[in-house]
Amino acid sequence: MKIGVVGCAGRMGQMLVREIAATAGCTLAGGTERVGGPALGKDLGVLAGLDPLGVTAIDDPVALFAEADAVIDFTSPDATERHAALAAQSETVLVVGTTGLNPSQQAAIAAAATHTAIIQSPNMSLGVNLLLALVEQVAHTLGDDFDIDILEMHHRRKVDAPSGTALGLGHAAAAGRGVKLEDVWQKVRDGHTGARPRGEIGFATLRGGDVIGDHTVIFASEGERIELTHKASGRQIYAKGAVRAALWAQDKTPGLYTMRDVLGL
């Protein structure tokens, strides 16, 4: 399977290049960078700290989507929306790890998925997706006798809050209770807030240092508390999951899939 990477010179892009190069059953189709970027024309292997791979960075995503069987995207919401349209036109598998998309951008991805297979997840790691399944199950079992809060911490450079993974955990908890997250979430607490409403799902966000990603879902009731936690110690887990998703999707019909589909959860 020929897999391309958009944003190939970035930190995540380099990890994806290394993972594709090391994974049986796939080959690197190419990679793109922004127009005028310093990585253009450079070998993707060299950019990723490997021996030369014979593929250079370009600034034309149309050419990349035409060449690739699948493209992996951990870029920005605006760029991902454009890439989804290209994936639909070329019927190329698209793996989306971008977070912070607004409703219009998410609708564009869903529309593109009527033409090709798109795998989208707020977090590509095996552990986090297992956690998502567990959170939904625990929330369903406990009901709203237990308060739910989601605590997350990331490095100081992260630009969206709460994290996409935290929101994904919130959606899992809400699904377990049979409600829409948007109807019950509380993203900010400040000042005299009064008593906590029954059924509320709260979020707390921490930013600092070089933390890759820590997420804890707290189920608290009178006399007991359950905490489910995932801590990422390296970003390569996201690259491994994304490449696994691309390989899984190569024979799938058009549709919007998640990592839980990929992992059979």
State the catalytic residue, choosing from 2, 115, 154, 180. 154
Q: What is the pLDDT of residues 57-86, one digit of tens each?
A: 999 999 999 999 999 999 999 999 999 999
SS3 assignment, position 259:
helix
Fold of 126-232: Dihydrodipicolinate Reductase; domain 2 (3.30.360)
Right CATH for 2-120+235-263 from 3.90.1150.200, 3.40.50.720, 3.40.50.300, 3.40.50.150: 3.40.50.720
Q: What is the pLDDT of residues 217-230, one digit of tens each?
A: 999 999 999 999 99
194: pLDDT confidence band, cut at 50, 70 and 90?
very high
Question: Is 2 part of the annotated catalytic residue set?
Answer: no
Query: Given a cut of 90, is residue 265 above it in pLDDT?
Result: no
Binding-site positions read 7-12, 51, 97-99, 121-124, 155, 164-165
Q: What is the mean pLDDT of residues 122-131?
A: 90
Question: Is 158 part of the annotated catalytic residue set?
Answer: yes
State the catalytic residue, choosing from 158, 171, 215, 240. 158
Share of the chain above pLDDT 70, in %: 100
SS3 assignment, position 18:
helix
120 C-beta neighbours (distance < 10 Å), count: 24
CA distances (Å), origin 192, targets 65, 186, 196 = 52, 14, 11
Q: How far is CA 136 from the centre of its chain?
A: 18
Q: What is the mean pLDDT of residues 108-121?
A: 97
pTM score, two decimals?
0.81
Binding-site positions for NAD(+) read 7-12, 51, 97-99, 121-124
Domain boundaries, the chain: 2-120+235-263, 126-232
User: Given this chain, do its domains 2-120+235-263 and 126-232 carry the same CATH topology?
Assistant: no
Query: Given a cut of 90, is residue 123 above it in pLDDT?
Result: no
99: pLDDT confidence band, cut at 50, 70 and 90?
confident
Binding-site positions for (S)-2,3,4,5-tetrahydrodipicolinate read 155, 164-165
d(CA 147, CA 218): 8
Tokens of residue 144, six digits: 């709203």
SS3 assignment, position 111:
helix
Q: What is the pLDDT of residues 138-175, one digit of tens each?
A: 999 999 999 999 999 999 999 889 998 999 999 999 99
Report whether 146 contacts 217 (CB < 8 A): no
Q: Are strands 224-232 and 213-221 parallel, antiparallel or unpaired?
A: antiparallel
Q: What would the DSSP string read from start to end of 207-250?
A: E-TT--EEEEEEEEETTEEEEEEEEES-THHHHHHHHHHHHHGG
Query: Given a cut of 90, is residue 89 above it in pLDDT?
Result: yes
Which amino acid is it at 79?
A
d(CA 210, CA 74): 19
Whole-number pLDDT of residue 152 = 98
